[in-house]
């Protein structure tokens, strides 16, 4: 079962009146405002004063890539239009603790400084979305807690859906499917239609999808800003292609998601050994096939790859993103996003949290 919702803009007259009143209240309370430019108007997004220090710093990413004021003009020079896929659930946490305020902070910065009026498709985990992976590996995301609606007396995620819908963002949630797989499926469909896909998420699982037409924009908790991560950055960091990322992570595991690596059973098998073997053989399956018929490394590595081949293949099944979820991207999701509601909706959201 898929749920999609799209909000609609209210009158500009009411919004202007609301802005004037809200700005006066904000000046008195010390709350900072961030202005996001669009083709038709400026939308003022309310963010907490603790996040205001990151506004100027946001324009410089950790890789020296400018993603602030010049985003719109930069994109206008490129032929392919962008579509953003917002992985919502990770934004609802501050560390391991569910946080409604974290969601509001990241969404405010995302709308005002990253996506602007480009189309955004939000994706949430479906009910029992991780059941298939849990059956393969019981420890998979076993420590995760459901997002807390905070002062919203509604079921988890409902308040998130309402905020996104009112900001004219379609929300996709499919029964029995994780958001990661839905994003991967929709991303591929968008690329096939000639779009450049940008996945907004801190989840490193998405690095396996990076290409010339697929980028990631990551919320940096320490700096409280978003930063683009592209194919160029991946090559600079790992000196290999993203296709190797999944194989490497299958060997080393993913502690955050509760996926144990080979070092848990063979401590001598470290990152350098794993990266060297993956670069040489290209993929996990090629490496395991080679190890089954000949020596591919030192004795401890050779023994690990033959003795624990099923262990590593299970990790692959858990960590590989599916691209065949039964969902189709809609044309109406790919139009320019109407930002006229952003100010009112986000201001109301923060007022409720602080009220």
Q: Over 60: is that where the pLDDT of 67 sits?
A: no
pLDDT greater at residue 254 or residue 44: 254
- CA–CA separation, 34 and 79 (whole Å): 29
Q: For residue 227, what is the enclosing H or E element?
A: strand 225-229
Q: Are residues 183 and 255 in the same domain?
A: no
The CATH number of residue 173's host domain is 3.40.50.1010
Does residue 50 carry a pLDDT above 80?
no
| pLDDT in the model for residue 6 | 40
Rounded Cα–Cα distance for residues 147 and 91 (Å): 10
In this prediction, residue 157 carries a pLDDT of 67
The pLDDT confidence band at residue 45, using thresholds 50, 70 and 90, is: very low
Identify the pLDDT of residue 47.
32
From 219, 221, 101, select the one nearest 160 (Cα to Cα): 101
CA distance 11 to 9: 7
Q: Are residue 251 and residue 108 in the same domain, yes or no?
A: no
Instruction: Specify whether 94 is located in the same domain as 187.
Output: yes
Supply the pLDDT for residue 144: 65
Among the residue ranges 17-21, 117-121, 161-165, the one predicted with the least confidence is 17-21
CATH number of the domain that 289 lies in?
1.10.150.20
Reply yes or no on whether the pLDDT at 129 is more than 90. no
Mean pLDDT value of segment 108-112 = 97
Summarize the confidence of residues 77-104 as an average pLDDT. Answer: 88
The per-residue pLDDT for 9 is 36
More confident residue, 98 or 194: 194
Does position 276 have pLDDT exceeding 80, yes or no? yes
Whether 172 and 76 map to the same domain: the answer is yes
Residues 58, 163, single domain; the answer is: yes
CB of 81 closer than 8 Å to CB of 195: yes
Residue 143 pLDDT level (bands cut at 50, 70, 90): confident
Q: Comparing 54-68, 93-107, 181-195, 227-241, which segment has the lowest mean pLDDT? A: 54-68
Q: Across the chain, what does the average pLDDT equal?
A: 80
What domain range is 289 assigned to?
243-319
- Read off the pLDDT of each residue in 202-230 and give the average, rounded to a whole number: 95
Q: Rounded distance, CA 159 to CA 65, Å?
A: 34
pLDDT tens for 144-158 read 665 554 444 445 567
Confidence of residue 97 (pLDDT cuts 50, 70, 90): confident
Query: Is-contact 343 19, C-beta < 8 A?
Result: yes
Q: Are strands 32-37 and 82-87 parallel, antiparallel or unpaired?
A: unpaired
Q: Are residues 12 and 127 in the same domain?
A: yes
Confidence of residue 239 (pLDDT cuts 50, 70, 90): confident
Domain count, the chain: 2
Q: What proportion of the chain, given as a percentage, has pLDDT over 90?
A: 62
pLDDT band at 353 (very low <50, low <70, confident <90, very high): confident
Q: Are residues 124 and 188 in the same domain?
A: yes
Looking at residue 155, what is its pLDDT? Answer: 52
Residues 51 and 161 in one domain: yes
The answer on 48 and 129 residing in a single domain is: yes
Which structure tokens are listed for 19? 């802005």
Nearest 5 degrees, angle CA 282-CA 84-CA 332? 125
**Alpha-carbon torsion 114, 63, 59, 33, what sign?**
positive
Nearest partner of 220 among 339, 67, 80, judged by Cα: 67
* Same structural domain, 334 and 252: no
Residue range 239-247: mean pLDDT, rounded: 87
Arithmetic mean of pLDDT, 220-249: 91
pLDDT, tens digit, 9 for 90 and up, residues 287-336: 999 999 999 999 999 999 999 999 999 999 999 999 999 999 999 999 99
197 versus 79: which is more confidently predicted?
197
Token output for 218: 């990551």
Whether 184 and 293 map to the same domain: the answer is: no
Looking at residue 146, its pLDDT comes to: 56
Do 129 and 27 lie in one domain? The reply is yes
Least-confidence region, from 20-29, 266-275, 303-312: 20-29
Report strand pairing: 97-98 vs 93-94.
antiparallel
């Amino acid at each position: 079962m898929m749920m999609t919702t799209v909000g609609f803009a209210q009158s500009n007259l009411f919004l202007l009146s609301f802005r004037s009143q809200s700005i006066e209240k904000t000046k008195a309370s010390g709350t900072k405002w961030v202005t996001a430019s669009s083709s038709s108007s400026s939308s003022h997004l309310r963010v907490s004063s603790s996040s205001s220090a990151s506004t100027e710093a946001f324009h410089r990413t950790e890789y020296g890539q400018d993603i602030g004021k010049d985003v719109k003009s930069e994109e206008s020079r490129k032929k392919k239009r962008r579509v953003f896929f917002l992985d919502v659930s990770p934004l609802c946490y501050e560390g391991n603790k569910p946080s409604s305020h974290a969601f509001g902070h990241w969404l405010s910065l995302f709308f005002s400084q990253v996506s602007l009026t480009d189309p955004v498709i939000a994706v949430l985990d479906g009910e029992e979305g991780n059941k298939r992976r849990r059956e393969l590996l019981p420890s998979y995301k076993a420590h995760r807690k459901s997002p807390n609606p905070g002062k919203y007396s509604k079921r988890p995620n409902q308040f998130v859906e309402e905020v996104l819908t009112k900001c004219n963002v379609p929300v996709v949630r499919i029964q029995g499917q994780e958001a990661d797989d839905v994003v991967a499926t929709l991303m591929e469909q968008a690329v096939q239609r000639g779009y450049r896909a940008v996945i907004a998420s801190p989840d490193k699982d998405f690095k396996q999808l990076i290409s010339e037409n697929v980028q990631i924009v990551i919320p940096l908790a320490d700096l409280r800003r978003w930063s683009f991560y592209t194919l160029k950055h991946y090559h600079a960091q790992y000196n290999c292609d993203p296709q190797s990322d999944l194989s490497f992570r299958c060997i080393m595991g993913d502690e955050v998601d509760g996926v144990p690596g080979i070092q848990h059973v063979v401590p001598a098998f470290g990152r350098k050994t794993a990266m060297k073997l993956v670069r040489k053989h290209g993929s996990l399956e090629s490496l395991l096939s080679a190890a089954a018929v000949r020596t591919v490394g030192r004795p401890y590595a050779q023994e690990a790859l033959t003795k624990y081949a099923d262990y590593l293949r299970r990790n692959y099944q858990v960590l590989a993103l599916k691209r065949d979820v039964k969902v189709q991207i809609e044309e109406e999701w790919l139009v320019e996003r109407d930002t006229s509601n952003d100010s009112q909706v986000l201001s109301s959201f923060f007022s409720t949290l602080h009220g």
